[in-house]
């Protein structure tokens, strides 16, 4: 036990994840490129990005399921290249696809996890997890027969059963109804409050706003990180909110204009943004003055920022 | 000094704790597999029914010394000699005279069409020529496209010729009786004096049935986890490859033991195959053989990319086990290279063990070479499996 602690960077590292230059390719195609990130203890860290952006690959590299092509770093103070056995003992990883045993009951699944992690009393550990999850009535039901929301609760329950210090959740709320999603996030916040660090990947914007800090990844590259406000401020995106008639035609005209970087409809309004306020103002001057639409200066939303970030990266690749 | 002793003890303690923790994890995988096995009704049913049906089917069906073979006779000589000869053939039980052919063409046709396996032609004037001492010939046409099937009958026919006419060749024609051989040829068919095929086949079947079922059970075990997506979860937990392997193999060792018991019981009750040697030794060595096959299956499972591939690999391994182990064809009849291949296969060694113990009463000392071969084979397969096991999703 003492030996295990001695090998760590610090007794209780404040930075739970600290990686530099992680790169991973599959069949010559880079999936994650030169990714560096730091995650502090007790935070909920949102990992955002479109499908296929490298979120899952990054999570798998962090918990030892994939070996990075290059780069180095630590997870809970353990080296991600050489100490994956230790990392597995202290990290709970919830896979994107339900990966508990469908042909085992809820209780049997939990007892299996408890035994694999060498908990003293697997039966009691499973019992308390079942109570905590509110699964008393379903304890003997087969896991494969549970509904999506319950499967997700069970998967989270199995992850936190051994008391990990870090949770890696890969799109945990995909395909789950809004009520179950809210309950799930309440649970995550309770866990973080108790000192657990949570790294959660998602592509829901409302979930991003529930995180303490976020990182945005697209095409394998980390494009922005910080709090939601920091990320928005850092993007320097000047935005107008346009309301009125014929927004669809207006949008088509705006998209072709120089200085307008992003046009996106939001309900009955149109968000028009540009990276350079002077150029955006110059380009839209006539339209703003003539109408018939009403132009009002607005704040860029997180989604505006992400869509803009994505299109910028795409431009770089084109 | 005392500090050094203390460190030693704590090191030993840590090792003991580590070992106990590993056992717990193996137990976790064991219980998990057992529960999954119980849920899978069809697999569970096949475990019981595959051995029983195969044993009953093949135990009764395979007979390398068949009797009552369909025979046609063409009798062109109505003498007492012809009648005696046909009667003697009937009595030997090898021949079942179904048809009397009317002509040589008819006889040829009966054999060619496969309606009979033997055609016997007793030519015209056979009785007269015999008495005259002209050594007339009886033509026996055997369909030897299955040489094994014909072998016993042909041998019986040759034996029959020396005695068949002893009752007819009396009085003036007694001098035509065949001379007695100057010596007696006495043949002992040891361990199976009646030459009963089932005594050879049933213990062999035990080996082949166990090979097939054990291979398939573990061949699917790792690929199934990969295909169902549970491998990702399993790999993210602190359980080592060797622990997963032992936990996955152990339940099937129990299942294989039960199957072996079932087959042994049926062998005794239904087929009357005795266990001449030690039953305890047979059980222990059968478990070793089961372990060897489970290890091979598990190794395939770590190499195959899908359950289908794992099945194909199992059958690829199963075929030489059937053909080159001495189960189907006599081991010593095979060319050297085939025997060399056979020596690698676990079934070859197990057949020697099981036939040795059940029929000959062999002891451990008699079988130690085969036991050693099985043990080495198992260790090699397990080592390969652990080395091949992909610990990451790379």
Look at A42-51, A107-116, B146-155, B267-276 and tell me which has the smallest mean pLDDT.
Answer: B146-155
* Contact across the interface for A66 and B392, Cβ inside 8 Å: yes
Query: pLDDT tens for residues B263-310?
Result: 999 888 988 888 889 999 999 999 999 999 999 999 999 999 888 999
Q: Which pLDDT band, with edges at 50, 70 and 90, does A4 fall under? A: very low
Q: Tell me the chain B residues in contact with residue A108 when contact means C-beta distances shorter than 8 Å.
A: 31-32, 35
Q: Do the beta carbons of residue A199 and residue A17 sit within 8 Å? A: yes
What pLDDT was estimated at residue B148?
66
Do B273 and B366 belong together in one domain? yes
Which pLDDT score, from 0 to 100, does residue A293 have? 79
| pLDDT attached to residue A236 | 83
Two tokens, residue A295: 């132009």
pLDDT higher than 90, residue A91: yes
Q: Does A295 touch chain B (CB under 8 A)?
A: no
Residue A241 has pLDDT above 80, yes or no: yes
Sort out which chain A residues have CB atoms less than 8 A from B233's CB and list them.
Answer: 93, 95, 99-100
Interchain contact, B39 vs A112, CB within 8 Å:
no
Where is pLDDT greater, at B56 or B193? B56
Q: Are residues B375 and B312 in the same domain?
A: yes
If contacts are CB pairs under 8 Å, which of residues 25-64 in chain A contact chain B?
60, 63-64
Query: CB–CB of B238 and A85 under 8 A?
Result: yes
> Do B341 and B297 sit in the same domain of this protein?
yes
Same fold for the domain at A2-231 and the one at A238-299?
Answer: no
Predicted confidence at residue A130, as pLDDT, reads 94
Domain A2-231: give its CATH superfamily.
Answer: P-loop containing nucleotide triphosphate hydrolases (3.40.50.300)
Q: Same domain for B245 and B361?
A: yes
How many other CB atoms sit within 10 Å of the CB of residue A170?
22
The pLDDT value given to residue A6: 41
Task: State mean pLDDT over B319-328.
Answer: 88
By the CB < 8 Å criterion, does A88 face chain B? Answer: yes
Q: pLDDT tens, B221-267?
A: 889 998 998 999 999 999 999 999 999 999 999 999 999 999 999 88
For residue A40, the distance in angstroms to the closest alpha carbon of chain B comes to: 22
Shortest CA gap A68–chain B (Å): 9
Q: Which CATH architecture has domain A238-299?
A: 2-Layer Sandwich (3.30)
What burial letters (b/e) apply to A92-130, b meaning 16+ CB within 10 Å? bbbbbebbbbbbbbbbbbbbbbbbbbbbeebeebbbebb
User: Are B250 and B141 members of one domain?
Assistant: no
Contact check, Cβ <8 Å, B238/A65: no
Percent of chain B whose predicted confidence (pLDDT) is above 90: 29
> Is B185 part of any domain?
no
Closest residue on chain A to B10 (Cα): A1
Residue among B142, B134, B131 nearest B165 (CA) = B131
State the Cα–Cα distance between residues B97 and B119, nearest whole angstrom: 9
Residues in chain A, total: 318
Q: Please report which confidence band the pLDDT of residue B369 belongs to, taking 50, 70 and 90 as the band edges.
A: very high
Interface of B with A in 13-42 (CB under 8 A): 21, 24-25, 27-29, 31-32, 35-36, 39-40
pLDDT for the residue B181: 52
Residues B48 and B85 in one domain: no
Q: What is the ipTM of this complex?
A: 0.82
Which is it for the CA torsion A2, A5, A11, A12, positive or negative?
negative
Chain A / chain B CB contacts < 8 angstroms:
75
- Cα–Cα dist B60/B66, whole Å: 12
Q: Which residues of B touch A154 (CB under 8 A)?
A: none
Q: Is residue B247 part of a domain?
A: yes
Residue A47 has pLDDT above 50, yes or no: yes
In a shared domain, residues B201 and B108 = no
Is the residue at B1 inside a domain? Answer: no
Nearest CA in chain A to B17: A118
Residue B391: the pLDDT is 81
Residue listed under structure tokens 């949770």: A167
Residues 6+ apart with CB under 8 A from A112: A101, A104, B28, B31, B32
Output phi, psi for A261, to 5 deg: -95, -25
Q: Are residues B303 and B378 in the same domain?
A: yes
pLDDT > 90? residue A257:
no
Exposure of B71 in the CB half-sphere (CA atoms within 13 A): 27
Could you tell me the two tokens for A177? 């109804």
| Any domain includes B285 | yes
Count of C-beta atoms within a 10 Å radius of residue A172:
25
Select from A67, A93, A112 the Cβ nearest to the Cβ of B236.
A93
**Cα dist. A155→A186, A266, B222 in Å?**
16, 35, 21
Range of the domain at B334: 29-61+196-388
Q: Would you list the DSSP string of A200-261?
A: EEE--HHHHTTSSEEEEEETTEEEEEE-HHHHHHHHT-EEEEEESS-HHHHHHHHHTSTT--
The yes-or-no verdict on residue B204 having pLDDT over 80 is yes
* Chain A residues near residue B32 by CB distance under 8 angstroms: 101, 104, 108, 112
Closest among A235, A276, A284 to A255, alpha carbons compared = A284
pLDDT at B257: 93
Segment B198-216 shows an average pLDDT of 88
- How far apart are the CA of B379 and the nearest CA of chain A, in angstroms? 25
CATH number of the domain at B158, please.
3.40.1710.10
Q: Do B394 and A66 touch (CB under 8 A)?
A: yes
pLDDT at position B131 is 82
DSSP string, A5-29: HHTSSSSS-SEEEEEEEEEEEETTE
| Residue among A14, A9, A18, A8 at smallest CA distance from A72 | A18
Number of folded domains that form chain B = 2
Task: Specify the higher pLDDT residue, A270 or A109.
Answer: A109
User: From CA A105, how far away is CA B35, in angstroms rounded?
Assistant: 9
On average, the pLDDT of chain B sits at 84
Residues of B in contact with A112 (CB under 8 A): 28, 31-32
Do the Cβ atoms of B64 and B148 come closer than 8 Å? yes
Whether A95 sits inside 8 A of B40 (CB atoms) is: no
Mutate to test the interface with B, among A4, A87, A103 (most CBs of B within 10 A): A103
Answer yes or no: do B321 and B205 share one domain. Answer: yes
Beta bridge partners, B96, equal B70
Q: What is the mean pLDDT of chain A?
A: 86
pLDDT in the model for residue A127: 94
B88 and B168 housed in the same domain: yes
Q: Kindly determine whether residue B393 and residue A88, on different chains, have CB atoms separated by under 8 Å.
A: no
Higher pLDDT, A317 or B49: B49
- Choose among B36, B233, B235: nearest Cβ to A100: B233
Q: Is B237 a domain residue?
A: yes
pLDDT value for B83: 86
| pLDDT(A145) > 90 | yes
What pLDDT digit, counting tens, does each position of B103-127 carry? Answer: 888 888 888 777 888 888 888 888 8
Q: Are residues B273 and B323 in the same domain?
A: yes
Percent pLDDT > 70 in chain B is 88
Residues 6+ apart with CB under 8 A from B34: B251
Task: Give dist(CA B138, CA A248) in Å, integer.
Answer: 106
Q: What does the alpha-carbon distance between residue B380 and residue B296 come to, in Å, rounded to a whole number?
A: 9
Distance between CA B42 and CA B50 in Å, rounded?
11
The first and second tokens of residue B394, run together, are 């790379």
- Residues A92 and A164: beta-carbon distance below 8 Å: yes
Contact B236 A91 (CB under 8 A): yes
Are B307 and B220 within 8 A, CB to CB? yes
Instruction: Tell me: pLDDT of A202 over 60.
Output: yes
> If you search the block for the tokens 């030996």, which residue do you land on?
A3
The distance of B214 to chain A (nearest Cα, Å) reads 21
Cβ neighbors of A313 (< 8 A, separation 6 or more) are A218, A219, A221, A223
Range in B192-201, B299-308, B332-341 with the lowest mean pLDDT: B192-201
With CA atoms as reference, the chain B residue closest to A26 would be: B394
Residue that wins the pLDDT comparison between A294 and B341: B341
Whether residue B147 has pLDDT greater than 80: no
Counting beta carbons within 10 angstroms of the beta carbon of residue B321, is it exposed (0 to 12), middle (13 to 18) or buried (19 or more)? buried
Environment class of residue A183 by beta-carbon count within 10 Å: exposed (0-12), middle (13-18) or buried (19+)?
middle
CA distance B149 to chain A (A): 50
pLDDT at A3 over 50: no
The alpha-carbon gap from A121 to the nearest alpha carbon of chain B, in Å, equals: 11
CB-based contact, A115 to chain B, within 8 Å: yes
> What pLDDT is attached to residue A2?
40
Please check whether residue A75 touches B, CB under 8 A.
no
> Are B285 and B365 within 8 A, CB to CB?
no
Sort out which chain A residues have CB atoms less than 8 A from B229's CB and list them.
Answer: 95, 97-99
SS3 B100: strand
Sort residue B196 into left (φ over 0), alpha (ψ -120 to 50) or beta: beta
Given a cut of 60, whether residue B182 has pLDDT beyond it is no
Are B239 and A103 an interchain contact pair (Cβ–Cβ within 8 Å)? no
At B191 the pLDDT is 66
**B169, B177 in Cβ contact below 8 A?**
yes
What pLDDT, on the 0 to 100 scale, is given for residue B121? 87
Q: ω before A292 within 30° of 0 (cis)?
A: yes
- Whether the CB of A91 is below 8 Å from some CB of chain B: the reply is yes
- Compute the nearest-CA separation of B32 from chain A (Å): 7
Q: Is the pLDDT of residue B66 over 60?
A: yes
- pLDDT computed for residue A191 by the predictor: 92
Quick check: B232 and A97 CB within 8 A?
Answer: yes
Which residues from chain A sit within 8 angstroms of residue B235, using beta carbons?
65
Rounded to 5°, the CA angle B141-B143-B148 comes to 120
Hey, what are B276's tokens?
Answer: 């001449």
Report domain extents, chain A.
2-231, 238-299
Distance CA A310, CA B309 (A): 41
- Reported as a pLDDT band with limits 50, 70 and 90, residue B332 is confident
Residues of B in contact with A110 (CB under 8 A): none
Residues B159 and B202 in one domain: no
Helix intervals (H) in chain B: 2-39, 41-61, 80-91, 104-112, 126-132, 147-161, 197-219, 221-228, 230-235, 241-269, 279-303, 307-324, 336-344, 346-355, 364-388
Over range A49-53, report the average pLDDT: 84
């Amino acid at each position: 036990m003492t030996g295990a602690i001695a090998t760590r960077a610090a007794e209780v590292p404040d930075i739970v994840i600290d990686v530099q230059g992680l790169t991973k390719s599959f069949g010559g195609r880079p999936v994650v490129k030169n990714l560096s990130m730091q995650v502090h203890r007790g935070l909920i860290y949102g990992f955002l990005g479109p499908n296929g952006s490298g979120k899952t690959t990054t999570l798998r590299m962090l918990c030892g399921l994939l070996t990075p092509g290059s780069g180095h770093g630590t997870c809970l103070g353990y080296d991600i290249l050489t100490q994956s056995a230790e990392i597995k003992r202290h990290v709970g990883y919830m896979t994107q696809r339900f990966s508990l045993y469908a042909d085992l009951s809820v209780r049997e699944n939990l007892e299996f996890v408890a035994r694999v992690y060498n908990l003293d009393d697997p039966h009691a550990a499973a019992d308390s997890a079942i109570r905590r999850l509110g699964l008393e009535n379903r304890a003997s039901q087969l896991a494969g027969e549970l509904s999506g929301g319950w499967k997700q609760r069970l998967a989270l329950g199995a992850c936190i059963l051994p008391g990990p210090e870090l949770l890696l959740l890969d799109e945990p709320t995909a395909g789950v109804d809004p009520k179950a999603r809210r309950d799930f996030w309440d649970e995550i916040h309770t866990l973080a409050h108790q000192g657990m660090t949570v790294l959660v990947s998602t592509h829901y914007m409302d979930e991003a706003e529930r995180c303490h800090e976020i990182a945005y990844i697209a095409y394998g590259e980390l494009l922005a990180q910080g709090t939601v406000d920091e990320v928005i401020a850092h993007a320097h995106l000047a935005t107008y909110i346009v309301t009125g008639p014929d927004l669809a035609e207006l949008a088509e005209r705006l998209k072709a204009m120089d200085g307008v970087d992003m046009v996106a409809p939001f309900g009955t309004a149109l968000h028009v943004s540009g990276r350079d306020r002077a150029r955006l103002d110059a380009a839209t001057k006539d339209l703003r003055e003539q109408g018939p639409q009403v132009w009002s200066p607005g704040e860029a939303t997180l989604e505006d920022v992400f869509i803009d970030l994505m299109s910028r990266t795409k431009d770089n690749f084109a | 000094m005392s500090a050094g002793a203390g460190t030693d003890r704590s090191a030993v303690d840590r090792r003991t704790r580590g070992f106990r923790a590993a056992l717990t994890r193996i137990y976790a995988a064991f219980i998990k597999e057992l529960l999954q096995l119980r849920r899978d009704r069809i697999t569970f049913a096949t475990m019981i029914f595959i051995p029983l049906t195969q044993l009953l089917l093949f135990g009764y069906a395979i007979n390398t010394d068949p009797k009552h073979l369909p025979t046609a006779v063409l009798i062109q000589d109505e003498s007492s000699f012809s009648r005696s000869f046909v009667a003697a053939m009937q009595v030997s039980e090898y021949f079942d005279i179904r048809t009397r052919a009317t002509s040589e063409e008819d006889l040829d046709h009966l054999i060619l069409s496969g309606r009979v396996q033997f055609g016997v032609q007793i030519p015209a004037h056979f009785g007269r020529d015999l008495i005259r001492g002209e050594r007339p010939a009886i033509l026996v046409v055997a369909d030897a496209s299955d040489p094994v099937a014909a072998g016993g009958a042909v041998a019986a026919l040759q034996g029959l010729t020396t005695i068949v006419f002893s009752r007819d060749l009396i009085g003036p024609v007694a001098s035509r009786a065949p001379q007695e051989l100057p010596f007696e040829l006495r043949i002992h068919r040891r361990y199976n004096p009646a030459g009963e095929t089932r005594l050879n086949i049933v213990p062999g079947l035990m080996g082949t049935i166990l090979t097939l079922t054990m291979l398939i059970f573990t061949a699917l075990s790792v690929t199934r986890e990969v295909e169902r997506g549970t491998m990702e979860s399993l790999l993210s937990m602190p359980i080592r490859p060797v622990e997963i392997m032992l936990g996955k193999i152990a339940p099937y060792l129990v299942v294989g033991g039960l199957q072996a018991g079932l087959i042994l019981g049926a062998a005794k009750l239904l087929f009357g195959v005795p266990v001449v040697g030690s039953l305890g030794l047979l059980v222990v060595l059968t478990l070793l053989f089961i372990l060897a096959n489970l290890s091979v299956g598990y190794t395939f499972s770590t190499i195959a990319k899908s359950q289908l591939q794992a099945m194909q690999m199992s059958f690829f391994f199963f075929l030489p086990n059937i053909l080159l182990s001495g189960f189907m064809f006599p081991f010593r009849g095979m060319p050297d290279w085939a025997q060399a291949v056979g020596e690698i296969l676990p079934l070859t060694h197990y057949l020697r063990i099981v036939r040795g113990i059940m029929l000959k009463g062999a002891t451990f000392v008699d079988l130690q070479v085969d036991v050693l071969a099985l043990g080495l084979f198992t260790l090699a397969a397990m080592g390969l499996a652990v080395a091949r096991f992909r610990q990451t999703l790379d």
